Structure formats: structure tokens, C-alpha cells
Amino acid sequence: MRYIALIVPVLMALVLTLTFAIMAATAQEKPENYAGWPVLKSTFPSTGGGGIIIKGYDPVITGKKCVTTFMAVTPANEVYYNVAEFDAVPAQGGLLCTNGKFKSFDGSASGTTPLRFFFNDGVFRAPPTK
């Protein structure tokens, strides 16, 4: 009888733990509503931070890519000219521009960007800034 008094609470805790684990594993994240994002502006703070401002961001869709030239302006007003290219992936009736890569025109810098934007009905939209 003493063993049952010890085993029952342990089994109940195990059942609760498994139940919550299954619920967490099967819970689906609510998909983003890209059409609800605000319109992409041509000037915005860089996703890389450091006080850098992106200017002249005006993407176009070409084939399966979203492409734009832009300027990165430092707080000291140094201007760097760049081009960015994203994969254009069909999503929610439009195209999600994702997996962005950039490079400077002079070849001095290159990298990736977490920025994503959505194109639908002639409008580019980007996630709200936090």
C-alpha cells in the first residue's frame, strides 16, 4: 500500500507532463498575415542596427528574385551603395521576398539580411518594426 501511495503521484505527474508535451508539439503557430503588414517604406533603420539608415529601397520582382539597390547611411553621414537580392517565394496569393543577400557596389562588403517583405496587388509590405 505504501508503494502505491508513492507511485500514484509520480504516475500522475508523468501523465500531466506527457499531456502538456503532446499539446505543445501539436500546437500550430498562427501563420503570419503578410497582407496585414505595413507598406514598405524606402527609408528605414537597418536590421543590422548601429544607427545605420537604409535609403532608396525600391524593390522590383524579376523572375524568381526580388532585387533592389539602396544606400546605407551611417550616423557620420558616410554613404555606402549596395544591391540586395531575395528569393521570391509564392505565399498567400503574392510573393514573399526572403533569404536576402546584399553586396556593396565596390565589393567591400557583403552579407545576409533577416529582412523579409511581401509583394501583392502592386504593393510591397514589410513586418512592423519593434
Residue spans of the domains in the chain: they are 34-125
- Rounded to two decimals, the pTM is 0.75
User: Chain centroid to CA 36: how far?
Assistant: 14
pLDDT (0 to 100) of residue 129: 77
Distances (CA, A) of 76 to 69, 79, 83: 21, 9, 21
Q: Which residue has the higher pLDDT, 3 or 113?
A: 113
Instruction: Look at residues 101, 97, 83 and name the one whose alpha carbon lies nearest to residue 127.
Output: 97
pLDDT in tens, 48-89: 889 999 999 999 999 999 999 999 999 999 999 999 999 999
Average of per-residue pLDDT values in the chain: 85
